[in-house]
Structure 1
């Protein structure tokens, strides 16, 4: 039995003392059962026992689908499959899942081989533990069997019922309630198909993301951190990208970019541009030449128009940053004295924006040991109804405030300060490098 919590001060809400929650659960008129994450029944109230015709000893400790197995005479029935899918969604999303009317036949009490046609309206609700994970699931069910039978009954029909797929329509043209049930069920099945299709698309998106973005830092760049945040509601893949590569023992390069658009199409363009720039970064004589070559390639690629990107070459021997930008927001260099410098002296138009390709500008900045360099995309700083300068100032102030920390801590702190920890309306990428 569920243990009863009692108020330690002897007074509950409304002045009640010593509430017996176990007795309260048992007396609730709505049929309720309690399941573990493994879908084992650990409790059921009286209303649940009554509508299922079971005793506690028949249910407690039983796997749900052993207690209520599939009707062997109707192996294609989807009630069990839909209920299982709903419970799995609760475990995955940690949210309540409401189901439409389901037909789920159960064995008659004492007659394991005789099944009764039953209709249910289930709601499955998670109970979360201190760690936010599902510890129990409350399975609430309303028995609609009598209503469905009465609504579908047809005078003169020897069986007393019509085909539930063809419910009666009143003479005045109104939709009968049984037909509403049927339509709701059709909508539910359609949503299930959409849900399965989305799950497959999401799996493709994750595979695509892993294939297109680097998963490890260059060996010499253990003092770097990256964050990749697709927009909330997206397929977890976007048109933003980042890249870090070694050029020599004392030189490495970093780049970020942003393709117009979202989703798989933008991600596909992003992957092609990132790969092209990665190759160009290894052979070009500086960032400007690399972006010039990328501009030539972008002109032959559908969806690449107006892509922005910035590339920085870091020379740890001369302690210089050589950079060039194709319409991208300027990298920020935070010096040891916490002065933040915008690297905005070599900014040009986005890729393929000119009618003819032209050479790109390039600039050099110096840094001292202990400086922090960040590259980012506009999703980190742009906010609707707010000037981009406000977002840039907010980012610069946050960077100065946290610049004494390690790259991973700086990255997390920047996301937190800019309100990105719980998701964002736009895609965002961030690279943090301790120089």
Structure 2
């Protein structure tokens, strides 16, 4: 028997709308329109927040902002997103200018096209306002409903306070990050560019770092990036301590492997530092060599001026403090020529949910090779970020270092 899915959609007892990636209504079933008090012409084909704006008379209204954040998360993470209870007032269809206090329980989910792209978003909402209103029933029922109504309002207020607290913590963490990761001064005469992009819409920021240090002997520098597992203020504090420790250690050890060994022992005594990943490269212009070691970190890329790109993946070991007993870490050396470029980065640049990390590495190499004619490290860093990071941002912060060799 052939099933008329359009008829099924319209007959669903739950309120469901289909929304495009541009946040324009593609369709809405009868239950959704009835629940919202709108006709199809007032909804379908309209931008979501033109059809359902926040109450302009309520400066604390956050329903539209929270809903947009949820939909953006679905587009970014390609996974369903269940929202907390939302107060989202709706303008009366019969009395324009009069706003009705409404409470909703929304769920948003992606629908994929055959090519794997998101074709449309499902927006399912269950209105709970009527369940919370006090009606003319028995005294016990009124008391119970009044209690439920009060509890739900309290829950909404708690959600708002948590959201604001998280936003404040995120701003403080980012300010701390900026203070500990200033744009570095030129390292001797060498051209270097650094970039840091925080995660969007979350507290998953401030665990990434970069560092450049002038080494004591000859024309040499140490370049490093790392990624702390945690997030927020705690991660920012751990990140700062690890960065400083690695920078100081690199100046007195023989090579990058020994620097990471010492850093691993320090991480063992630093709460929140376990399983941190890091990679450090000693650049020697006198010998034209790169000596590197990685503690569970994505490999740097050596972009050859004469053509081609090479992943520096021959000296990889587990993250810091991951082994039961300290042990020597591997180290590898590769030569470079004038005109080559060294690129270090954190996993926010290449990792995406539901995609193998090798795909991200391939995309990075392709981006570097397609932009090899760019001679400025600043311009190359901007070009790579523009091609690798989606316009709406990513859910993990990203650090990038470009060194012209």
Instruction: Please point out which of 343, 354, 364 is paired with 1:395.
Output: 364
**When the two structures are superposed, what TM-score results if normalisation uses the length of structure 2?**
0.63
2:278 maps to 1:279? no
Residues in 2 aligned to 1:175 and 1:324: alpha-carbon distance in whole angstroms:
67
SS in 2 for 1:283: coil
Higher RCO (CA-CA < 8 Å; seq separation 6+): 2
Q: Does the C-alpha gap of structure 1 residues 326 and 194 become closer, same or farther in structure 2, counting only changes over 3 Å?
A: closer
User: Which residue number in structure 2 is paired with residue 337 of structure 1?
Assistant: 306
Residues in 1 aligned to 2:242 and 2:398: alpha-carbon distance in whole angstroms:
17
2:358 maps to 1:410? no
CA shift, 1:232, in A, is 2.5
Q: Does the C-alpha gap of structure 1 residues 316 and 276 become closer, same or farther in structure 2, counting only changes over 3 Å?
A: same
Residues in 2 aligned to 1:236 and 1:383: alpha-carbon distance in whole angstroms:
14
**When the two structures are superposed, what TM-score results if normalisation uses the length of structure 1?**
0.59
* Structure 1 residue ranges without an equivalent (≥5): 1-79, 102-120, 124-139, 146-165
Residues in 2 aligned to 1:189 and 1:181: alpha-carbon distance in whole angstroms:
12
Query: What is the number of residues matched between the two proteins?
Result: 295
* Contact kept in structure 1, 2:196 and 2:399, CA below 8 Å: yes
* Structure 2 residue ranges without an equivalent (≥5): 1-55, 70-85, 102-132
Instruction: Please point out which of 389, 397, 402 is paired with 1:427.
Output: 397
CA shift, 1:174, in A, is 5.5
CA shift, 1:400, in A, is 0.9
Deviation track 1:138-166 (CA, whole Å, cap 9, x = no partner) reads: xx942779xxxxxxxxxxxxxxxxxxxx9
* Contact kept in structure 1, 2:278 and 2:295, CA below 8 Å: yes
**Equivalent residues in 2 for 1:2-13 (5 A)?**
none
Q: Does the C-alpha gap of structure 1 residues 356 and 100 become closer, same or farther in structure 2, counting only changes over 3 Å?
A: closer
Instruction: Please point out which of 191, 209, 215 is paired with 1:223.
Output: 191
2:168 maps to 1:212? no
CA shift, 1:402, in A, is 0.7
CA shift, 1:338, in A, is 2.4
CA shift, 1:335, in A, is 0.8
* Contact kept in structure 2, 1:374 and 1:431, CA below 8 Å: yes
Q: How large is the RMSD of aligned CA atoms in angstroms?
A: 3.6
* Contact kept in structure 2, 1:218 and 1:246, CA below 8 Å: no
Residues in 1 aligned to 2:222 and 2:235: alpha-carbon distance in whole angstroms:
24
Deviation track 1:34-80 (CA, whole Å, cap 9, x = no partner) reads: xxxxxxxxxxxxxxxxxxxxxxxxxxxxxxxxxxxxxxxxxxxxxx9
CA shift, 1:240, in A, is 1.6
User: Which residue number in structure 1 is paired with residue 209 of structure 2?
Assistant: 241
Structure of larger gyration radius: 1
* Contact kept in structure 1, 2:173 and 2:206, CA below 8 Å: no
